Amino acid sequence: MKKDRNLQRDSLDFGNENIPKLFRALFFPTLVGMVFNALLTIIDGVFVGQGVGANGIAAVNIVAPLFMVVTGIGLMLGIGASVIASIRLANREVKAANIIGTQAFVVGVAIVAALSLLCLSAPDGVVTALGSSEALRADAAGYLLWLLPGMIFLLVQCVGLMLIRLDGSPRYAMMCNVTAAVFNIGLDYLLVFPMDMGVAGAAVATSVSCALGGIMVLVYFVKYSSTLKFYRLKLSVTSLLLTLRNTGYMAKIGFATLLTELAMSVMMLTGNHVFIHALGEDGVAAFSIACYLFPIMFSISNAVAQSVQPIISYNFGAGDMGRVAKSLRVALVAALVCGTVVTVSVAAGARLIVSLFLSPESGAFDIACAGLPKYALCGLFFALNIAFIGYYQSLEKSVRATVFTLLRGIVFIVSMFLYLPHLLGVSGMWLAIPVSEMLTTAVIVADFMLTRRRLARTRS
């Protein structure tokens, strides 16, 4: 029996197969895998919230931006490598595609290793810079130190899953995420409750789970890959310069995704400061619930963008713009459906969601229950924004993707967190994120329509 049969490899013809069918074959395994990946952080919050309390969950939220930065670096290089490799494969340049993929792994590992060493050298300083108060510092620093060993494996997983999907194995990519998340659930329970390790136990569980997911990715490329494989890189000056050049181009294409993760960090840092000054530690704990939900929203939205990316990039490389346009329409419909489901689910289930993290006796409980329905309004607009940004990345239009990400993730969000609380009080704090996403959608749609009109006039 062939190895690829053991993996139930999907037969994916990016250039000829029916696009809705092709999208579904990629989307459902990608969605399941990404949601389970997001559960790594959420599960920590649930177990820490129930086992340690509001201060524990706030401490985890302080360190969460670091997790997002590493994820962002991995997705930036993974998406950049996948877009370039898709175009190379469309032109039958398999060796070039393999070199690109290998360079993404090597450079990403080097960057995350340097970042981990920096955090290891001054953990208290790092958590203080991330917004920790004196009361939260010990728990936050402990969580950080135990989280660091898994960060390189998280990078490997983020890069690898993009390339595994391109290689035609979205279900194997899904299993990497699912296996790691299920393992994390068991470890979280064991380390937080019976072993009473608190936030450190949650961090150990996350690190071990990340290691498992990363190892599964490495095993795939060593034993099971079909077209994309590791390529032995040379150490000559010319090869190193080539690696730097290729990595720079990958980073340029994928930068909007890194910026999205950094923007989530900015959102969390800005929100933490706004909530802690207005409502104290209970305010941060309540806002933490929204922060735990945001990766789920991002995962669902990003599953749409990542599923359509290889289809768009491959057909763009092949010069078939009709299939590119149809792929965008499919992605936007999927984004509308997913965004609506997320908004309705979070708004309707706010009290149930909060009860997973906090006890009703906690001072943060009522704050979170009142705020989540307002915060949920961001789901629909966020899904549309990520779909459009992914579309521009797939076409190598990195400037547009970056500008829109800067608007939604930094310019609008910081402005709204500073302005809306003065206008609307506590409600304004919860509405800052939805209003930011809504404004970004308006800008993106206006730009898209104006560009289409200009092209139509040019052709006529």
Contact call for residues 390 and 305 (beta carbons, < 8 A): yes
Structural domain count, the chain: 1
Question: Whose structure tokens read 């197969």?
Answer: 17
Q: Helices 237-318 & 94-121, crossing angle to 10 degrees? A: 120
Asked whether residue 203 is domain-assigned, the answer is yes
**At residue 27, what is the residue type?**
F
What distance in Å separates the CA atoms of residue 265 and residue 349, rounded to the nearest whole number? 25
Q: Residue 151: its pLDDT value, please?
A: 93
Asked whether residue 368 is domain-assigned, the answer is yes
Own/partner pairs, 447-452, CB within 8 angstroms, 24+ separation:
447/400, 448/388
Q: Residue 249: its pLDDT value, please?
A: 84
pLDDT tens sequence across 345-381: 999 998 998 888 877 887 788 888 888 999 999 988 9
Contact call for residues 138 and 68 (beta carbons, < 8 A): no
Asked whether residue 6 is domain-assigned, the answer is no
Contact call for residues 401 and 389 (beta carbons, < 8 A): yes
- 3-state SS, one letter per residue, for the chain: CCHHHHCCCCCCCCCCCCHHHHHHHHHHHHHHHHHHHHHHHHHHHHHHHHHCCHHHHHHHHHHHHHHHHHHHHHHHHHHHHHHHHHHHHHCCCHHHHHHHHHHHHHHHHHHHHHHHHHHHHCHHHHHHHCCCCHHHHHHHHHHHHHHHHHHHHHHHHHHHHHHHHHCCCHHHHHHHHHHHHHHHHHHHHHHHCCCCCHHHHHHHHHHHHHHHHHHHHHHHHHHHCCCCCCCCCCCCHHHHHHHHHHHHHHHHHHHHHHHHHHHHHHHHHHHHHHHHHHHHHHHHHHHHHHHHHHHHHHHHHHHHHHHHHHHHHHHHHHCCHHHHHHHHHHHHHHHHHHHHHHHHHHHHCHHHHHHHHCCCCCHHHHHHHHHHHHHCCHHHHHHHHHHHHHHHHHCCCHHHHHHHHHHHHHHHHHHHHHHHHHHHCHHHHHHHHHHHHHHHHHHHHHHHHHHHHHHHHHHC
Asked whether residue 259 is domain-assigned, the answer is yes
- Count of alpha carbons within 13 Å of 247, Cβ hemisphere only? 19
Tell me the two tokens of residue 263: 């923007």
Q: Residue 11: its pLDDT value, please?
A: 57
Q: Residue 171: its pLDDT value, please?
A: 86
Q: Residue 7: its pLDDT value, please?
A: 39
pLDDT tens sequence across 121-148: 888 888 887 767 777 788 888 888 998 9
Q: Residue 162: its pLDDT value, please?
A: 84
Backbone phi, psi, residue 378, to 5°: -75, -20
Global pTM reads 0.71
- Any idea of the CA torsion for 154, 160, 164, 170, to the nearest 10 degrees? 20
Q: Residue 4: its pLDDT value, please?
A: 41
**At residue 270, what is the residue type?**
T
Return the biggest CA–CA distance within the chain.
Answer: 72
Cα of first residue to Cα of last residue in the chain, in angstroms, is 56
| Rounded alpha-carbon distances, angstroms, from residue 274 to 60, 257, 316, 356, 431 | 18, 25, 44, 24, 13
Asked whether residue 283 is domain-assigned, the answer is yes
Q: Residue 225: its pLDDT value, please?
A: 85
Asked whether residue 9 is domain-assigned, the answer is no
Asked whether residue 153 is domain-assigned, the answer is yes
| Rounded alpha-carbon distances, angstroms, from residue 96 to 64, 85, 166 | 36, 7, 14
Asked whether residue 5 is domain-assigned, the answer is no
Closest CA to 298 of 95, 30, 38: 38
**Residue segments in the chain with a per-residue pLDDT below the cut of 70:** 1-12, 37, 39-45, 54, 131, 459-460
Domain limits for position 24: 14-459
Backbone phi, psi, residue 31, to 5°: -60, -50
Q: Residue 41: its pLDDT value, please?
A: 65
What's the full length of the chain, in residues? 460
What distance in Å separates the CA atoms of residue 55 and residue 36, rounded to the nearest whole number? 25
What distance in Å separates the CA atoms of residue 161 and residue 194, rounded to the nearest whole number? 34
Query: 141-167 b/e with 16+ CB inside 10 Å = b?
Result: bbbbbbbbbbbbbbbbbbbbbbbbbbb
Tell me the two tokens of residue 449: 């329509």
